[in-house]
Structure 1
Amino acid sequence: MATIKDVAREAQVSTSTVSHVLNKTRFVSPEITLRVERAIQDLHYAPSALARSLKVNETRTLGMLVTSSANPFFAEVVQGVEQRCFELGYSLALCNTQDDKARLNSNMEMLLQKRVDGIILMCTQLELGAGIFDRYPNIPLVLADWGPQDMVADIIQDGGQLGGQLATEHLIGLGHRHIGCITGPGGKRAADERLAGFKAAMDHAGLTVRDEWICEGDFELAGGNSAMNALLSLPERPTAMFIANDMMAMGALRALADAGINVPGQMSIVGYDNIELAHYLVPSLTSVEQPKTSMGALAVDTLLSRIKNPDSPRRVLTLTPELVIRDSSQAYVEGIGNWE
């Protein structure tokens, strides 16, 4: 295997010149740069990432802990993280926690032992486990939307309350007055903020929030399905639903289809996240767009800024949601409800 000394000998330059060409740490004339690059190519030289990391005390590798990269929402954020890492010449070590704290702690230890330069957290756990950071007090962290808000870390977050308002105001604007909500788990910031937005829009319009029409889900398909089935078992049902994420909305659509209820003819639906699948559902899903790819890229940029400026003030960056209107919501038609 060729070494940097072999490259220097072949290009007839010093090893320090080869290093400057590789790392772009000093100007090297185009002629010499070309000689070095040709030598690298001819000798099939590959710089040692380990040696470089020991020398400059960085690995150019970022870690990411995510609840499940199989979930379409998380997957689209991860895609944004990976793309930005690639653009900046960084590698990404991705770990799935599956909502298992023991697995999360184990993954955290592994990432830190591998000396990642910083970590992006995107996990639904309310706490990461006692003392997990005690041994590594200086590791740079960024929280990407989901996770414990009291952690000492920069935070990239969704404007959940505004998003919940946008979704509900859309349904109200269509003439719906009997509107329900399937929320995420109580106590989770994303769930609580979106529910608060729903209630604020209803209150502003002078509409009654009926407790029996607010069902708690789990941000997963099964949770949306069971919550909708519970609503359908009531003697009265709403004409429209705001559902706090698209995964639950898909589960709810399955329940409605099984019950023979037409969407949007008999019930309008608005989801949240605007995952790519939302466009391909039948009917296509009206949803609140979270800029997921942008969130991932911003998480990387924020983490690198933290790495370079470890003592700068903690930042909380809030993204602005937008409503994407599709076929699952339509104007209220008199007589489709059973509360008359």
Structure 2
Amino acid sequence: MATIKDVAKRAQVSTSTVSHVLNKTRFVSTEVTQRVQQAIHELHYTPSALARSLKVNHTRTLGMLVTSSTNPFFAEVVQGVEQRCYELGYSLVLCNTGGDVSRLQAGLDMLQQKRVDGIIVMCTQASPDESAFEHRAGMPMVMADWGPAQLNADLIKDSGHEGGRLATEHLLALGHRHIGCITGPSGQRASDERLAGFYAAMATAGLAVNPDWVQQGGFELEGGEQAMGRILQQANRPSAIFACNDMMAAGALRALADAGIRVPEHMSVIGYDNIELAGFLVPRLSSIEQPKAALGALAVDTLLERIHHPEVPRRVLPLAPALVARESTAKLAI
């Protein structure tokens, strides 16, 4: 493999001149620049990113920790992060934590060993171990929607309380008064906020919530199906369901179909996240939109601002949710 010394020798210049041509750090005559570029081409020389990072103390590489999940929400956010990194000339190192604290710790260690410039954390542990982040005060970090809110890092949040309220108000506007909710894990910020928004909208409407119609689904397909099954076992059933993410809503649709309950004729269902799959379910799922690509891009931009301006106070940046109404919700039949 050719080195910078080989290029300098072939072009009959010093290694510092080759460096100036590569990095455009000093004027080099057109004739010399052409000789250096020709030598680079002939030798198939590729500059060492590691060597450059040791010299300038940055690698133009970002790390990202994300919970491995069947939920496409994560993949859509990661795609937004990767696209923004590509636009800005950064590389991304992705680590799946699997919801395991030890893997979270190992991922943080590995990313620091690779000398990433900063880390985006998007992990769904209900009770994340804060000790995993100890002794990392010097590492710029951004929490992207999911993560320990009390960590001293910038936080991008989805305004789940507002989103839960929007979903419930949509069902109320359609005439529904008997509304249930399938929640995520208790103690997880996104789950708790969306559920709180549901309760707030019901209270504003002067309606009591049947506790038997509030069931935990764990943010996954199977959990949503099982939670819907428990609701259907009740003597009285709601006319509408707010599922706190689209995966649980999809699982709920499966349970309803198996029970011979038509959506939305017999029961309306609305989800949360507006993942791409929502528009392909039968019926197409009403949902609360989270701008996933925008979330990913904002996470990158916020992290780079933190890297370049570490003195800036910690920021909490909310994302505004929006209602996307489709065929899974309809006016209550009288």
SS in 1 for 2:156: strand
- 2:5 matches 1:2: no
Residues 283-322 of structure 1 aligned to structure 2 (within 5 Å): 283-322=283-322
| Cα offset, 1:12, TM superposition | 5.4
- Partner secondary structure for residue 133 of structure 2: coil
Question: 1:132 offset after TM fit, Å?
Answer: 2.8
Query: Does 2:61 match 1:61?
Result: yes
- 1:329 maps to which residue? 329
Q: Which residue number corresponds to residue 218 of structure 2?
A: 218
Aligned counterparts of 2:34 and 2:268: Cα–Cα separation in 1: 63
Q: Is contact 2:273–2:287 with CA below 8 Å preserved after alignment? A: yes
Distance (whole Å) between structure 2 residues aligned to residue 27 and residue 246 of structure 1: 56
Using the TM superposition, give the Cα deviation of residue 42 of structure 1 relative to its aligned residue in structure 2, in angstroms. 2.8
SS of alignment partner, residue 68 of structure 1: coil
Q: Which runs of 5+ in 1 are unaligned?
A: 335-340
> Which residue type is aligned with residue 156 of structure 1?
I
Structure 1 equivalent of residue 267 of structure 2? 267
Q: 1:23 Cα deviation (Å)? A: 3.1
Instruction: Supply the distance in 1 between the matched residues of 2:57 and 2:224 (Cα, whole angstroms).
Output: 47
TM-superposition CA deviations, 1:73-100 (whole Å, max 9, x none): 1111111111111111211111111111
Distance in structure 2 (CA, Å) of the matches to 1:94 and 1:69: 14
- Partners of 2:127 and 2:187 within 8 A in 1: no
- 1:196 is aligned to 2:196: yes
**Partner secondary structure for residue 190 of structure 2:** helix
- Matched with 1:133 is 133
Q: What is aligned with 2:175?
A: 175
CA distance in 2 between counterparts of 1:65 and 1:283 reads 34
2:241 aligned partner? 241
CA distance in 2, matches of 1:159, 1:130: 23
* Cα displacement (A) at 1:226: 0.7
Spell out the pairing of 1:66-81 with structure 2 (5 A cutoff). Answer: 66-68=66-68, 70-81=70-81
Per-residue deviation, 1:71 = 2.5
Contact persistence 1:105–1:128 (CA under 8 A): no
Contact 1:62 1:91 in 2 (8 A): yes
* Contact 1:69 1:78 (C-alpha < 8 Å) held by counterparts: no
- Output the CA distance in 2 between the equivalents of 1:33 and 1:198: 65
Q: Which moved more, 1:138-147 or 1:196-205?
A: 196-205
Q: Which amino acid aligns with 2:74?
A: F
The TM-score with structure 2 as length reference comes to: 0.94
Amino acid at match of 1:166: L
Q: Go from structure 1 to structure 2 and tell me whether the alpha carbon gap of 1:23 and 1:316 turns closer, same or farther (over 3 Å shift).
A: farther
Counterpart position of 1:187: 187
**Counterparts of residues 95-134 of structure 1 (less than 5 Å):** 95-129=95-129, 131-134=131-134
- Write the distance in 1 (CA, Å) between the matches of 2:30 and 2:227: 66
Deviation at 1:114, TM superposition (A): 1.6
Q: 1:130 to 1:314 in 2, by over 3 A?
A: closer
Aligned to 1:64, what secondary structure does the other structure show? strand
- Counterpart CA distance in 1 for 2:270 and 2:82 is 29
> Aligned letter for 2:215?
C
User: Displacement, 1:31?
Assistant: 6.7
Residue 219 (structure 1) shift: 0.5
Amino acid of the structure 2 residue aligned with 1:306 = R
For 2:131 and 2:237, locate their aligned partners in 1 and report how far apart those are by CA, in whole Å: 47
The 1:45/1:284 distance shift into structure 2, 3 A limit, reads same
Give CA-to-partner distance per residue, 1:26-55, whole Å, 9 cap, x none.
Answer: 566777655544442332111101101111
**Do the aligned partners of residues 263 and 206 (structure 1) sit closer, same or farther apart at CA in structure 2, a change above 3 Å counting?**
same
- The answer on whether the counterparts of 1:286 and 1:326 sit within 8 Å (CA) in structure 2 is yes
Percent identity, please: 67
TM score, norm. by length of structure 1: 0.92
Please report how far the alpha carbon of residue 283 of structure 1 lies from its aligned counterpart in structure 2 after TM superposition.
0.6
Gap change, CA 1:31 and 1:187, over 3 Å in 2:
farther
CA RMSD of aligned residues (A): 1.9
The verdict on how the C-alpha distance between 1:59 and 1:211 changes in structure 2, with shifts beyond 3 A counting, is same
Tell me the distance in 1 between the aligned counterparts of 2:112 and 2:263: 48
Distance 1:200 1:81 in 2: 33
| Cα separation, 2, equivalents of 1:56 and 1:128 | 34
In the alignment, which residue of structure 2 is the partner of 1:338? Answer: none
Query: Are residues 222 and 5 of structure 1, via their aligned partners in 2, closer, same or farther at CA, if it must alter by over 3 Å?
Result: same
Long gaps (5+) in structure 2:
none
Of stretches 275-284 and 100-109 in structure 1, the one that deviates more from structure 2 is 100-109
